Chain A
Amino acid sequence: MSVEHHIKLPEGSIEKTTTTLNLGPTHPATHGVFQNILELDGERIVSAEQTVGYIHRAFEKLAERRPLYQITTLTDRLNYCSSPINNMGWHLTCEKLLGVKTPKRVDYLRVIIMELSRISDHLICNSVVGVDSGAFTGFLYVMQYRELIYEIYEEVCGSRLTTNMGRIGGFERNFTNAAWEKIEKFMAEYPAVLKEFENLFTRNRIFMERTIGAGPINAERALNYGFTGPNLRAAGVDYDVRVHTPYSSYEDFEFEIPVGSTGDCYDRFLVRNGEMWQSLRIIEQAYRKIQDMKGAEADVYHADAPSYYLPPKKDVYTKMEALIWHFKIVMGETEIPPGEVYQSVEGGNGEVGYYLISDGGRTPYRLHFRRPCFIYYQAYSELTKGSMLSDAIITMSSLNLIAGEMDA
């Protein structure tokens, strides 16, 4: 007879009951403000219940009182790891509603910025997966390249994290030479860094054993749960908004959609890494296309849409027309057609959608953000059920949950 049979545990003793653990709302491993109430049997998770909403800021309500151009600042604060994608998505939504056609150069400039932000988004996510599995080096190493991306943002629009970049119709100013130099520096130096980053992790035995099989989901469940973006592609579905519903001239670029098969943390990691390589490809193509432009086309950085695009400040002081447009745009006196628009872009985490209803007033009648994080986070309890607590932490970071996007 084994020893265990002689031990009589009293009713209600700790070995007999499950333990409740509050992971969050301010736990360093959650990387954001949201709570998981875990029911643990030893170190295994019996059930998980998520609570979100700690940083809900009522963006949809606020948007109902703001003219279109003031909503850009709200979109920054959704997924703040890749704000420019959200900004561009919002401009595209407005342009669709207003019928503004952007020149090719604007599209390509936007593509460069969006792909840079995708890289910075994936970079953070993947290096944080490393941190959570005990490898800090990669995180520190790639930080300086995220810094370089932020410097590019700074050259383009003046700010770094919450960028408020671009305007309806294009950019507020042309890219400066310093911006181009930094983009060139990034294109020249980043591939080697990314390769080294991959070398640190991809075939690292500790990393593989920590991530393979952690938090898996199959394609069918992922679709049913509304997964999009890298998390869906890791499960083997090649859905990418850039390819399925091209916007901002993505159809002009040659790139592949990396897919995984098991949808676990390791596949999500590989898919994100693969996407960074593809993003680099796209940036290079866009850069070439812009360099090849000649004549007037080579300098244009906004659409000819005087009723929505703010005129240069210099003109406002010296030209009557510009002053009138400036006044009308700022005071919300320009015509906005009534209509219903759904526009989506491929954000860092998946399909970021904007559902805009305009009744012709100066502000939207209703604006709804489709936030990919919010939708796929509900699968978290299914993903972690039965796994170890440490796997749940890694699953959380590899899903790239951003509290700002979840709570809107």
Chain B
Amino acid sequence: MSLTNETIKDRLKAKFGDQVSNFEEPYGLLTFEAPKDLNLKVMQFLFDDEELRFQFLTDLTAVHYPGQPGRELAIVYHLHNLKDNIRLRFKVFTPIAQPDVFTATQLYASANWMERETYDFFGVNFVGHPNLKRILNVDEMTYFPMRKEYPLEDQTRIDKDDAMFGRGPGGQVGQGADEAKH
């Protein structure tokens, strides 16, 4: 019998009780949330359990929600059970002031660079990571560029006299409309 979202949910509930929460199924993909100090326990359980066998880490990344005090950074794991061919997504939230989350490198070798990338762009401190340093950005960088407080350059700015790139003092590029929602 192949695995269903319901079964996974029941198994997780049986093991972790109310600590795993916010079960959803957007576009059919089971999504849930766990407390951040349980992230390894949940992953280990999903990995080892004879029925679940989520042994392939598809993707690991983070999302910044500046509007949620105490839960600003979400670390998102996409796991895949290749035998039953079912995926799931689980998230842990961490305050941005102390973004410490346990590393998954002992479980998945692939997590190494993905965690480095997440650290590089969001500043998530993966506790226990063997080599947590920047990977795509320069080592000298002092901030974490994918956080929402660093907007892309405002195209309406007029302090740059750079007529070659269409940014004359008149500011001809994309006036106003761009700022409508973001």
Contacts and interface: CB of A to CB of B under 8 A. Distances in A.
Do A and B come together as binding partners? yes
Interface of A: 52-53, 56, 58, 60-62, 64-65, 96, 221, 223-226, 237, 239, 244-245, 331-332, 339-342, 344, 351, 353, 355, 357, 361-363, 365-366, 368, 370, 374-379, 407-408
19 contacts: A53-B135, A53-B136, A60-B146, A61-B145, A61-B146, A225-B110, A226-B110, A245-B85, A331-B177, A355-B59, A355-B76, A363-B181, A366-B63, A366-B64, A370-B59, A370-B78, A374-B113, A375-B110, A408-B136
B61 A368 contact: yes
A86 to B, nearest CB: 16
Nearest to A220: B55
B165 interface: no
B72 to A, nearest CB: 13
B78 A64 contact: no
Contact of B108 (A226, A342, A351, A357): A226
A370 B26 contact: no
A375 B114 contact: yes
A56 B138 CA distance: 10
B145 A363 contact: no
Given A56-B136, A355-B59, A362-B180, 5 more contacts: A60-B146, A332-B180, A368-B59, A374-B117, A377-B113
Contact of A244 (B26, B85, B180): B85
A344 B31 CA distance: 17
Interface string B112-139: 1110010001000000000000111110
Contacts of B112: 378
A61 B153 CA distance: 11
B56 A223 contact: yes
Contacts of A353: 58-59, 78
Contact of A225 (B61, B76, B109, B145): B109
Contacts of A53: 134-138
A54 B30 CA distance: 36
Nearest to B89: A342
B6 to A, nearest CB: 19
A365 B76 CA distance: 14
B29 interface: yes
Interface of B: 26-27, 29, 31, 55-59, 61, 63-64, 76, 78, 82, 85, 87, 89, 108-110, 112-114, 117, 121, 134-138, 145-146, 152, 177-178, 180-182
B109 A221 contact: yes
Given A56-B136, A61-B146, A331-B177, A239 B82 contact: yes
A245 B85 CA distance: 8
Nearest to B138: A53
Nearest to A237: B82
Contacts of A379: 109
Given A61-B146, A61-B152, A224 B137 contact: no
A340 B65 CA distance: 14
Given A53-B135, A361-B182, A378 B63 contact: no
A65 B152 contact: yes
A242 to B, nearest CB: 13
Nearest to A362: B181
Nearest to A382: B109
B110 A65 contact: no
A339 B110 contact: no
A407 B135 CA distance: 9
B104 to A, nearest CB: 11
B40 to A, nearest CB: 16
Contacts of B89: 340, 342
A223 B61 contact: no
Contacts of B109: 221, 224-226, 378-379
Contacts of A96: 27
Contacts of B181: 361-363
Given A237-B82, A339-B26, A362 B59 contact: no
- Most B Cβ at <10 Å: residue of A244, A342, A361, A407: A342
A61 B65 CA distance: 15
A342 B110 CA distance: 19
A341 B26 contact: yes
Contacts of A244: 82, 85
B152 A62 contact: yes
A52 B135 contact: yes
Please name the 9 residue pairs, one residue from A and one from B, whose CB atoms are nearest each other, closest first: A226-B110, A53-B136, A56-B136, A361-B181, A368-B61, A370-B59, A378-B113, A224-B109, A225-B109
Given A65-B152, A355-B59, A224 B110 contact: yes
B152 A375 contact: no
Contacts of B87: 342
Contacts of B152: 61-62, 64-65
A80 to B, nearest CB: 18
B136 to A, nearest CB: 4
